[in-house]
């Protein structure tokens, strides 16, 4: 049941004066919602300063400005298509107002020679002369007429003018109750100099004066409200989890040590830290929800495998879930290689296992003789039963959104969950993107990796690239060749066309894999490439995650300028996994702009995924970051990740603290928070 105090905000948009049945759908489209409240969340993009300037000398072409001057002359058009002109004079110079197709009598009535007028509009430059064409306002200062000091400017949609949207927003402001309790703490309000909730909305939709700092503070306050609403939901989920029982997976240190000492290498200190985090969580009697984030090759599998060992030695089973068949198989092989020799029972289960092999695996899972299983989503469908599932590990989590993951967690019946992602996310965004998860980061690569040499090359030099590729293939190395599209007759850089062309040039079999192939066809192509039957694989970005081919030494990416940096970085991570020197060739089609060049240059300069993600974020904003869009982290309505990401951790602490103190939300602040949650949590949008 919705709180009565919010009823007026959740009235339909057409309850506002001026919005009838015809405008209703137009407004709904614009604000992406059907309530008065949705309209209020459609904040202005910017504000126009309509204060009257001191003199014409201050006018800058390209700006909207307001000035006062005396009407000096009316000039009729030279030709039919030329404008009527009114000249204003203010003692410092002239301003020419132009009017196309105007009635001269009406115009002269508006601008009587010798009278003062205030005009407001866009200033242009015409052959060195300051002009204003069709002013937005023409006012008489003698009658004390003034334009509004400031005017909010909204993003619009066809069929709506700024004035209409502004008037609707003003009407909507009347629906905001005056008696809403404050849900933010006093200290925060004072420290940050934030206005109250209603005042913040008024300060944006109906500001009294032009003050950029004030606008920013109002927006910040509402962004914080939104972050707090969302974090309140997460804090509840966390609390519910903390109250849920889970087996405390306590094991002797020996089981872990036995695996650790069997490794042919030393663990990195980042891996050791992550194992400690995970072990700590598993030993608690409530469910773990932890994200393990680390660049490709940072060694996440080992950390997860040790978690599985801990589960097994405490008497439970562990399941690994990967987004694709190939990745599931690969994971199975990695885990089996580590743990098989030590006597662990490891199995694979994917949708493709059939017949007696499948029956055997199902039985082993049900009776507990299989301790660790790696598979696809199939693991949690089709009546697969576990004897005692204690841990689930989800690989490449960015393929699944926050909501998917929550759904999975409810279905999986495994109390503890570790999710892994190879998508580096700027630290400032990590919490926003990973929602309710605790985070461990592998920010250190295992030692001894060969750096990958990255080159940025114009595709006019394609023949040189093909030569180099041919030489590598002659040395029995493998080459990935990535194209941005599957198939297009008019584009030779699409996968199907490029594969045919390369086959012709190289006189060698060329593998081809793209999203339109069936799963089995994809696997076959990848397998042929892995085994060396084909030495070059033309692909779209389906190979982006996970695929491990140690002999691959060259990664060619065509039209690299069109990809996100994180994506290019992940593609690059497909090479440089063996002992041989590897290259990444980023082909672009000239000409490209400075920004595109700077982005590719970043990639050439560094292999540090976090640094690359930061650069991508800085250059293109959060929406383009790999994994951010899917995560749902960009669906904030007010909060702008590029501006307000730092508010999220503050809101998280705030929400957790508030809910620990008052889990029933019955206290004064609790009740206020509960109102806020109704107003701004994403679940309200989903209708839950």
Residues of this chain that interact with ligand ADP (CB under 6 A) are 265-268, 271, 294, 296-302, 422, 446
Per residue, what are the HEC states of 529-576? HHHCCCCEEEECHHHCCCCCCCCEEEEEECCHHHCCHHHHHHHHCCCC
Helix (H, G, I), strand (E, B) or coil at 518: coil
- Cα–Cα distances in angstroms (integers) from residue 198 to residues 9, 46, 166, 230, 651, in the given order: 12, 19, 17, 20, 20
DSSP 288-349: -EEEEEE-TTS-HHHHHHHHHHHHHHTT-EEEEE-SSHHHHHHHHHHHHHHHGGGT--EEEE
For ligand ADP, the closer of residues 299 and 364 by Cβ is 299
Q: How far is 12 from 238, CA to CA, in rounded Å?
A: 34
Minimum distance from residue 394 beta carbon to ligand ADP (Å): 13
Nearer to ligand ADP, 149 or 336 (CB): 336
- Residue 317 or residue 423: which is nearer to ligand ADP going by CB? 423
| Cα angle for residues 609, 610, 612 (degrees, 5° grid) | 65
CB of 596 to ligand ADP, least distance (A): 28
Contacts of 97 (CB under 8 A, 6+ apart): 85, 86, 87, 88, 111, 119, 131, 132, 133, 135
Q: Which residues contact 6 (CB under 8 A, 6 or more apart)?
A: 37, 177, 675, 678, 679
Smaller CB distance to ligand ADP: residue 120 or 324? 324
**Closest CB 283 distance from ligand ADP, rounded Å:** 23
CA separation for the pair 431, 277 (Å, rounded): 17
What the block records as the tokens of 438 is 């605790």
Q: Which is nearer to ligand ADP, 494 or 567 (CB)?
A: 567
Cβ 374 to ligand ADP, closest distance in Å? Answer: 13
Shortest distance in whole angstroms from residue 35 CB to ligand ADP: 45
Minimum distance from residue 542 beta carbon to ligand ADP (Å): 17
Q: Kindly report the CA angle at 569 between 528 and 491, in degrees rounded to 5?
A: 65
State the Cα–Cα distance between residues 644 and 429, nearest whole angstrom: 10
Query: Taking the complex as a whole, how short is the minimal distance between the CB of residue 36 and ligand ADP, in angstroms?
Result: 48
Residues whose CB falls within 8 Å of the CB of residue 48, separated by 6 or more in sequence, listed in order: 64, 150, 151, 152, 153, 210
Comparing CB distances to ligand ADP, the nearer of 538 and 626 is 626
Gap between the Cα atoms of 192 and 220, Å rounded: 9
How far apart CA 573 and CA 576 sit, in angstroms, is: 7
In contact, 117 and 68? CB cutoff 8 Å: yes
Q: How far is the CB of 274 from ligand ADP (least distance, A)?
A: 11
By beta-carbon proximity to ligand ADP, the closer residue of 134 and 266 is: 266
The least CB distance from residue 348 to ligand ADP, in Å, is 16
Nearer to ligand ADP, 299 or 375 (CB): 299
Rounded least distance, CB 549 to ligand ADP, Å: 12
Q: What tokens appear for 35 in the block?
A: 């309530």
Would you say 294 or 435 has its CB closer to ligand ADP?
Answer: 294
CB-nearer residue toward ligand ADP: 420 or 672? 420
Give min distance, CB of 296 to ligand ADP, in A.
4
- Judged by beta carbon, residue 139 or residue 302, the one nearer ligand ADP is 302
What is the spatial distance between Cα 222 and Cα 224, in angstroms, rounded to a whole number? 5
């Amino acid at each position: 049941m919705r709180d009565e105090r919010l009823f007026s905000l959740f009235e339909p948009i057409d309850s506002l004066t001026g919005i009838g049945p015809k405008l209703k759908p137009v407004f709904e489209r614009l604000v992406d919602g059907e309530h008065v409240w949705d309209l209020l969340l459609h904040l202005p993009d910017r504000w126009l300063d309509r204060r009257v300037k001191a003199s014409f000398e201050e006018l800058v072409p390209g700006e909207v400005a307001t000035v006062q001057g005396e009407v000096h002359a009316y000039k009729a058009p030279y030709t039919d298509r030329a404008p009527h002109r009114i000249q204003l004079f203010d003692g410092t110079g002239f301003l020419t107002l132009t009017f196309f197709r105007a009635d001269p009598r009406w115009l002269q009535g508006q601008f009587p020679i010798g009278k003062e007028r205030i005009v407001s509009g866009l200033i242009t430059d015409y052959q060195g002369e300051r002009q204003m064409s069709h002013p937005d306002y023409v006012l008489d200062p003698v009658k004390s007429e003034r334009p509004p000091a400031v005017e909010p400017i909204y993003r619009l949609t066809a069929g709506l003018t700024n004035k209409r949207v502004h008037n609707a927003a003003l009407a909507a402001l009347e629906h905001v109750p005056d008696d809403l309790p404050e849900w933010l703490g006093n200290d925060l309000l004072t420290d940050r100099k934030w206005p109250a909730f209603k005042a913040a909305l008024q300060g944006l939709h109906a500001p009294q004066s032009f003050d950029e700092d004030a606008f920013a503070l109002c927006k910040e306050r509402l962004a914080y409200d939104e972050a707090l609403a969302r974090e309140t939901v997460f804090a509840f989920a966390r609390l519910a989890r903390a109250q849920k029982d889970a087996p405390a997976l306590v094991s002797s240190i020996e089981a872990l040590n036995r695996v650790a000492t069997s490794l042919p290498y030393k663990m990195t200190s980042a891996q050791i830290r992550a194992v400690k985090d995970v072990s700590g969580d598993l030993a608690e009697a409530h469910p773990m929800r932890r994200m393990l984030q680390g660049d490709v090759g940072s060694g996440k599998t080992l950390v997860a495998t040790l978690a599985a060992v801990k589960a097994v030695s405490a008497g439970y089973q562990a399941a690994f879930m990967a987004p694709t068949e190939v990745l599931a198989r690969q994971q199975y092989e990695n885990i089996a290689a580590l743990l098989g020799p030590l006597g662990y029972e490891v199995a694979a289960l994917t949708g493709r296992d059939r017949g007696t092999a499948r029956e055997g695996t199902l039985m082993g899972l049900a009776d507990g003789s299989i301790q660790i299983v790696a598979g696809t989503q199939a693991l949690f469908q089709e009546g697969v039963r576990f004897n005692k599932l204690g841990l689930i590990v989800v690989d490449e989590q960015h393929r699944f959104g926050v909501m998917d993951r929550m759904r999975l967690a409810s279905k999986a019946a495994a109390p503890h969950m570790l999710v892994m992602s190879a998508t580096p996310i700027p630290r400032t965004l990590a919490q926003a993107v990973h929602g309710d998860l605790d985070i461990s980061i592998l920010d250190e690569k295992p030692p001894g990796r060969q750096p990958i040499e990255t080159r940025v090359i114009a595709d006019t030099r394609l023949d040189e690239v093909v030569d180099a590729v041919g030489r590598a293939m002659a040395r029995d190395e493998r080459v990935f060749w990535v194209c941005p599209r599957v198939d297009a007759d008019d584009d030779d850089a699409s996968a199907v066309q490029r594969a045919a062309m390369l086959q012709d040039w190289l006189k060698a079999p060329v593998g081809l894999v793209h999203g339109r192939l069936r799963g089995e066809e994809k696997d076959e192509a990848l397998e042929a490439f892995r085994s060396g039957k084909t030495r070059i694989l033309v692909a779209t970005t389906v190979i982006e995650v996970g695929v491990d081919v140690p002999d691959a030494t060259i990664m060619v990416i065509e039209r690299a300028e069109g990809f996100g940096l994180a994506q290019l970085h992940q593609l690059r991570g497909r090479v440089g996994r063996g002992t041989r020197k590897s290259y990444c060739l980023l082909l672009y089609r000239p000409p490209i702009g400075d920004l595109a060049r700077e982005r590719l240059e970043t990639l050439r300069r560094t292999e540090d995924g976090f640094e690359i993600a930061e650069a991508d974020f800085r250059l293109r904003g959060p929406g383009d970051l790999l994994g951010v869009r899917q995560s749902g982290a960009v669906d904030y309505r007010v909060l702008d990740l590029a501006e307000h990401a730092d508010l999220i951790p503050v809101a998280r602490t705030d929400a957790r603290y508030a809910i620990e103190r008052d889990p029933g939300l019955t206290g004064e602040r609790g009740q206020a928070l509960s109102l806020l949650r109704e107003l701004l949590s994403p679940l309200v949008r989903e209708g839950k």
